Amino acid sequence: MKHLFVIFGLLLGSVAYAQQVPAIILQFQRANEPPAIPEPLIYLIEFVQQKTGDYVACYYMENSKRIQLKKICRIEKSNIDVVAQWLKNSEKSFSLSVLNVTVDEIKQKMKDSSYHLHAPIPDDSLIRTDTFMFCQPYVFTRKISTGGFHFTLKWLTETGVRVHYQFDSNAMGMAAFPLANYLCAYTLLRDRLPSAFPESTFFSKNNLMDILPYYYQTIECEGFYYKEFIQKNTGRTTKENNLRTGWNYADYLEQRKHTH
């Protein structure tokens, strides 16, 4: 699965930025690993606000080359309004229905994934990013790969930059994936990018469905409870701790109910 770290940062050469025209700007570049000359191409697409409140893009850039789109790409005002409200409220609970996902779809995806859950997926239809951010540092497995790619996404208003997030393609593997930021970007850009734009499917429902199993496994917070288990059992060896010898998540939670 492809991961992404979305970066809201300064984009040079943007007409909207220079004139403070409301716009949503997405920039893409593959990681230069190992370093190569010339550096990977930079791609940029700019959705500019219209009188209707929609944001539209008519072309994208490949370095300095302008490529006209055969069909205008549009971010509807309704999606803009949803994300604007989330930002205003510093939203931490996201409805699956707004994300265009159902609990049944997630349950089916879990069956097809390599992630294992100790408890059934809850039916409350909410993605809680505060719980996710608390539990993510305790994820057991870390992995990093060379290469990858980077996106830069910036939302400009008449008064400046509205939001500023950072991601990279190894973020999930390194247990550093900012889920709330992704959900905002996903809601803005879901299936709104031209197919010729590199890695455009990252902002698709299919990719969100690849991310959600990681979310549900992460919020079980097994690593947090395992750390607590180690602290309570100080006589264990380093090898036992590394191998998680004697550890049973379900049993520990059951025991914990009677001691807290």
What is the reported pLDDT for 114? Answer: 83
Provide mean pLDDT across the span 32-55: 89
Q: How many CA atoms lie within 13 A of 159 on its CB side?
A: 2
In the predicted model, what is the mean pLDDT of residues 115-132?
88
Pair of tokens at residue 34: 């190992």
The answer to whether residue 9 scores a pLDDT higher than 70 is no
Q: Kind of pairing, strands 6-7 and 65-75?
A: unpaired
pLDDT in tens, 164-206: 777 778 878 888 898 999 999 999 999 899 999 999 999 999 9
Residue 4 predicted with pLDDT over 50:
no
C-alpha distance across the termini of the chain, in Å:
39
Checking if the pLDDT of 111 tops 90, the result is: no
Q: Which of 11-15, 73-77, 198-202 is predicted least confidently?
A: 11-15
Provide DSSP, 40-96.
PPEEEEEEEE-TTS-EEEEEEEETTEEEEEEEEEEE-HHHHHHHHHHHHHT--EEET
pLDDT for residue 125 is more than 50: yes
**Residue 20 clears pLDDT 70, i.e. is over it:** no
Q: Which pLDDT score is estimated for 51? A: 95
For residue 148, name the pLDDT band (cuts at 50, 70, 90).
Answer: confident
The tokens describing 167, both together, are 């991601």
Say which amino acid occupies 37. I
pLDDT of residue 12: 40
Span 5-33, mean pLDDT?
A: 65
* pLDDT of amino acid 13: 45
* pLDDT exceeds 60 at position 2: no
Residue extents of the structural domains in the chain:
6-220, 225-260
Helix (H) / strand (E) element for 222: namely helix 222-232
| The predicted structure's pLDDT at residue 1 | 46
Give 257's pLDDT tier (boundaries 50, 70, 90): confident
Task: Determine the pLDDT at residue 16.
Answer: 52
**Interval 147-160 mean pLDDT:** 89
CB 139 within 8 A of CB 218: yes
- The tens digit of pLDDT for each residue in 199-252 reads 999 999 999 999 999 999 999 999 999 999 999 999 999 999 999 999 999 999
At what angle are helices 179-189 and 205-218 packed, to 10 degrees? 160
CB 118 within 8 A of CB 223: no
Q: What percent of the chain has pLDDT over 70?
A: 92
Residues 6+ apart with CB under 8 A from 123: 103
Q: What are phi and psi of 60, to 5 degrees?
A: -135, 165
CA distance 63 to 12: 12
CA pair distance 149, 199, nearest whole angstrom: 9
CA–CA dist 55, 195 (Å, integer): 18
Long-range pairs for 213-216: beta carbons < 8 A, 24 or more residues apart: 213/106, 213/109, 213/110, 213/113, 213/115, 214/115, 214/172, 214/177, 215/127, 215/132, 215/179, 216/106, 216/110, 216/115, 216/117, 216/121
